[in-house]
Amino acid sequence: MGAHTHTHTHTHTHKDALNPLWLETSKLILVFTAFLENGVLRVWGIFEQTEGPVALVSAEELAFKFAVNNINRNRTLLPNTTLTYDIQRINIYDSFEASRKACDQLSLGVVAIFGPSHSSSSNAVQSICNALEVPHIQVRWKHHPMDNRDTFYANLYPDYSSLSYAILDLVQFLKWKTATVVYDDSTGLIRLQELIMAPSRYNIRLKIRQLPLDTQDTRPLLKEMKRGREFRIIFDCSHQMAAQILKQAQTMGMMTEYYHYIFTTLDLMAIDLEPYRFCGVNMTGFRILNVDNPQVASIVEKWSTERQIPPKPDSGLLEGIMTVCFGSSDNASSSQHGSREIAATLV
């Protein structure tokens, strides 16, 4: 425990934990059967926008366009083939509109559908993709139960059990005997289930707390934990909520060397941690983007240059989307209908 703020990615984890699909250590091959017309391969993206006077383009949509344009510029990835995309925007929570637009696009013939992110809209699109046997690419965390019947999908977010094992491994590595788990909603209990079940198997005592609903004011909860001398705390929440927690903890004198916080969000790097550098607090987070990988570093640099701002991800998978590379399979063959197999490789 140093007397300085530090945020790092712990590597002593379960062997499958936090092993991003696009890194050199693991590749996911998706084989798509597409109908090509004059060497054109169509993909479709559906992205959500918030209601308001000015509709903001989502980070996922920007990353999607960025990936397709970079693939088309690299002629070695899909020789004699050009990717084209169509983007539809829907209001958040509008699953009916998502279904309608999915049906419209599928009638035109697309190789795959990317998005949307919100669970209800994503489930609606997934149901249609299952029925029509079209791959659905998901980029946000989604719980797939054991009896899950969804078959035509690829979720780029790390499996919840892998994340759960990683957090448990970290707690064991730190030799914590007591800890407080603070979760935002019920999905956090699923993501942290290995840790929550730990007291029955390991010598550790846990206290479970929930963040307040419908407010970002966590000070009453922080006050309770401070009064209870709860110094080792695991927060399962969004990076936006994590930013609020850190600000409020600082005003309450809870950013000292006595405290150690673990944040499960994969976007801790999106928070400005500079104000806490010399507070003395210990802070640990996870990051699945290997910035030491030259290929990844090059892509992130291009992304920053094209947007002309430093990359600040909306999700831990954002940079993963940017590194999508479509490569044609070596044994691709054409039929009399002009269809052939295309392999999509995530590196």
Q: Is the pLDDT of residue 267 over 70?
A: yes
**334 DSSP assignment:** B
| Residue extents of the structural domains in the chain | 36-158+292-346, 160-284
Quick one: average pLDDT of 129-140?
82
Residue 320 one-letter amino acid: G
- CATH number of this structure's domain 36-158+292-346: 3.40.50.2300
CATH number, domain 160-284, options 1.10.10.10, 3.10.20.30, 3.30.360.10, 3.40.50.2300:
3.40.50.2300
Q: Is the pLDDT of residue 97 over 60?
A: yes
- Fold equal for 36-158+292-346 and 160-284: yes
Strands 40-49 and 82-91, bridge-based pairing: parallel
Quick one: average pLDDT of 85-108?
82
CA dist., res. 258 & res. 230, Å (int): 10
Q: Is the pLDDT of residue 18 over 50?
A: no
Indicate the angle between helix axes 119-132 and 95-106, nearest 10 degrees.
30
Reported as a single tens digit per residue, the pLDDT across 293-344 is 887 788 777 777 766 554 454 444 454 544 443 433 233 333 333 333 333 3
* Burial class, 127, CB count within 10 angstroms (exposed 0-12 / middle 13-18 / buried 19+): middle
Q: How confident is the model at residue 250 (pLDDT cuts 50, 70, 90)?
A: very high
Out of 152-156, 264-268, 282-286, the most confident range is: 282-286
Nearest-5° angle of CA 241, CA 246, CA 252? 125
CA dist., res. 140 & res. 118, Å (int): 8
Q: Prior bond to 116 cis, omega within 30?
A: yes
**SS3 at position 29:** strand
Report the predicted TM-score, pTM, of the whole model to 2 decimal places. Answer: 0.68
Q: How confident is the model at residue 172 (pLDDT cuts 50, 70, 90)?
A: very high
Strand order in the sheet with 113-114: 82-91, 40-49, 113-114, 136-138, 153-155
Indicate the angle between helix axes 219-227 and 239-251, nearest 10 degrees.
60
Residue 253 one-letter amino acid: G
Reported as a single tens digit per residue, the pLDDT across 176-225 is 999 999 999 888 888 888 889 888 888 899 999 999 988 899 999 999 99
